[in-house]
Structure 1
Amino acid sequence: MFDLNSLLRDNIKRLVPYSTARDEFKGEAAIFLDANENSYGSPLPVAYNRYPDPMQWKVKYRLADIKGVPPQNIFLGNGSDEVIDVLYRSFCRPGIDNVVLFPPTYGMYEVSANINDVIVRKVSLTPDTYQIDMAALQQAVDENTKLIFICSPNNPTGNSINRADIEMVLNNFDGIVVIDEAYINYARQKTFIPELTEYPNLVIMQTLSKAWGLAALRVGMAFAGEEIINVLNKVKPPYNINRAAQDLVLQALDNIGEVNEWIRDTVIERDKLSASLDALPQILEVYPSDANFILAKTVDAKGIYNYLVEQGIIVRDRSKVELCNGCLRITVGTADENITLINAIKSVQL
């Protein structure tokens, strides 16, 4: 049975979080002399001399309308990477607890675990189909397994993980299951957000960096039960999302129609690009994708990668990643960019 208190590190249970000046009063005020800010303003058109809302409530209320989840069930991080780091720091005792990962997958799960001295247990996805090996997962989990990260759609393979398998993990693991849905906007599979009320051990990560086109702002989202969200807010830095990012995110969230058009265009281009790649002799296999990128097995990943660099085209060489031998990961570009890419690969000498 899931017991959040038993998962928390003892120092986090005892932690008294930093209280910002803006946490200590309610209501409106005309004069702020509490936070040692520059009272004269800032040398910018927008007055950035005041600290931002440490809990980003305006952004959370807007996201709540879009995502269909209460604002108190939302955590915002300085990119999803901060969400990952705060999860480790909240729940994993350094040198004792472990996390289960499913390579090939997003590399920051392991990097952040190593930074936090959390033991990494790897359960490789099944070859070719890139799904969870449920029997191997059962063998990997023990009493010190605190977190399981599932990336779906998965990076770099592009496929969604079988929903029934994810539900099996949620129902049988007493720790926290983190589903990284960074690419969910492009997927056929639906988000797990509606299941938050059913699974108290569920954390869902999403991002504004992909479909929303806000990668430079570094704003990641986590959705979870209020108990987990309260822990993350307790551990995070006080002002982790700056004022400029909050303001620009609010503007962007008013343009859902444009974002949905980009998503439709990306999916159309993804299918066209997959078909075009599949017809090339330089490409051995194109894997099915639910994301805004394609994993393609090539006759010579390093050679093709270097040739494309010479042409001013940058893709990602994933050939040294487990189960991705000979593979390039190719982001879906605009129609013109994709045509340029295909023509460049055509000219690679076999």
Structure 2
Amino acid sequence: MREFNLEKIVRPNIKQLKAYSSARDEFKGVAEVYLDANENPFGTLNRYPDPQQVELKQKLSEIKKVNNNQIFIGNGSDEVIDLAFRIFCEPEKDKALTFSPSYGMYDVSAAINNIELIKQPLLADFQINLNQLQPYLEMEDVKLIFICSPNNPTGNSINKEDIEYILKNFNGIVIIDEAYIDFSTSASLISAIEEYPNLLISQTFSKAWGMASARVGVGYANQEIIKLYNKVKPPYNVSSLSQEAVLSVLNNQEKFEIEKNIILNEREKVITQLSQISSVKKIYPTEANFVLIEVENAGKIYTDLVEKNIIIRNRNSLVNNCLRITIGSPEENKKLINTLQNL
């Protein structure tokens, strides 16, 4: 196992950066009069949100069995992704690596930050080709590796043994995007952040928790990485409304489990029904809240469904003649299947 040194991969300007100290950072606790942040004294949304999201982190700490200082709360998991480039990659100099096909925001964030993103093709079963990856693990200018597991748009989980091999043999940061982990039979790797100092887990409340409009993502890592994230993030990056919304769903685990099980049951029903439709040539295994299917003519089927006011995702540009179908409500799924049968 390689010896990982965080100091060596942090951008020099980030090391020297003096983080902005907001009014709410400088005062802890509850006061009777607040005249420190130039806020409007009137209204119900007039106060700035907690910049450190203390209450939300405490709740997540209890649920995920990690320390508060091992949690970063972001404006969606996209902020977790973007800040990784800002912290660890020097523009026009360093590189990052991901696998193809996978989540498109890695490409966008890399381009915004002017970082070359190497895209390693996955194998036919959408697993990592470690033999082809090996040279990149030894390149000093490759600072980040993004692994989406379960992967979007393919739906499969990446082999844990392959992820652990990369963690042990790469001197940069390995970001495991677990946006769909709640739908998977595979366990989260959050418990491994103590073992691997270069591991960062990204999760979101936009999928299984039904909080997509709240835009709240979470990063889990050792406290040194989380310190860097808190140093670079905007001071009030997550609104009070979003923090309160997420706390409300975290405090109602029973509702979460019921709705998740409905989605999982519907997923199996949809897969069974899709397998009986002649235009569906292949259904890929999935551990997410969507299914990837290969059809005869992805473009035509997509267009035909749009004309019936049913919107799915055409992923033909990533996987030939493939469509990605999100598992909806029982009523939505029934309408989709009936429409596909009649096309």
TM-score range (shorter-chain normalised) is over 0.9
Aligned partner of 2:88 in structure 1 is 91
Residue 161 of structure 1: how far off its partner (Å)? 0.4
Aligned partner of 1:268 in structure 2 is 265
Letter in 2 for 1:80: S
Residue 140 of structure 1: how far off its partner (Å)? 2.8
Secondary structure of the structure 2 residue equivalent to 1:120: strand
Aligned partner of 1:131 in structure 2 is 127
Find the aligned partners of 1:195 and 1:26 in 2 and give their Cα distance.
32
Is 2:11 aligned against 1:9? yes
Letter in 2 for 1:180: D
Residue 24 of structure 1: how far off its partner (Å)? 1.3
Find the aligned partners of 2:255 and 2:320 in 1 and give their Cα distance.
37
Aligned partner of 1:68 in structure 2 is 65
Is 2:29 aligned against 1:32? no
Aligned partner of 1:186 in structure 2 is 183
Aligned partner of 2:224 in structure 1 is 227
From 140, 146, 149, give the equivalent of 2:146.
149
Q: Work out whether residues 298 and 326 of structure 1, in 8 Å CA contact, stay in contact via their aligned partners in 2.
A: yes
Q: Work out whether residues 121 and 140 of structure 1, in 8 Å CA contact, stay in contact via their aligned partners in 2.
A: no
From 241, 244, 259, give the equivalent of 1:247.
244
Q: Work out whether residues 18 and 238 of structure 1, in 8 Å CA contact, stay in contact via their aligned partners in 2.
A: yes
Is 2:287 aligned against 1:285? no
Residue 200 of structure 1: how far off its partner (Å)? 0.6
Q: Work out whether residues 290 and 324 of structure 2, in 8 Å CA contact, stay in contact via their aligned partners in 1.
A: yes
Aligned partner of 2:303 in structure 1 is 306
Q: Work out whether residues 72 and 218 of structure 2, in 8 Å CA contact, stay in contact via their aligned partners in 1.
A: yes
Find the aligned partners of 1:23 and 1:264 in 2 and give their Cα distance.
40
Aligned partner of 1:347 in structure 2 is 342
The alignment's TM-score, normalised by the length of structure 1, stands at 0.96
Find the aligned partners of 2:284 and 2:25 in 1 and give their Cα distance.
49
Is 2:174 aligned against 1:177? yes
Q: Work out whether residues 123 and 140 of structure 1, in 8 Å CA contact, stay in contact via their aligned partners in 2.
A: no
Residue 16 of structure 1: how far off its partner (Å)? 0.1
Find the aligned partners of 1:207 and 1:28 in 2 and give their Cα distance.
30
The alignment's TM-score, normalised by the length of structure 2, stands at 0.98
**C-alpha root-mean-square deviation of aligned residues, in Å?**
0.8
Aligned partner of 2:333 in structure 1 is 338
Letter in 1 for 2:141: N
How many residue pairs were aligned?
340
Is 2:58 aligned against 1:21? no
User: Structure 1: which 5+ residue stretches go unaligned?
Assistant: none
From 102, 127, 131, give the equivalent of 1:105.
102
Moved more, 67-76 or 22-31: 22-31
Aligned partner of 2:74 in structure 1 is 77
Give the percent of matched residue pairs that are identical in Structure 1 and Structure 2: 49
User: Structure 2: which 5+ residue stretches go unaligned?
Assistant: none
Find the aligned partners of 1:192 and 1:215 in 2 and give their Cα distance.
23
Residue 80 of structure 1: how far off its partner (Å)? 0.6
Residue 28 of structure 1: how far off its partner (Å)? 2.6
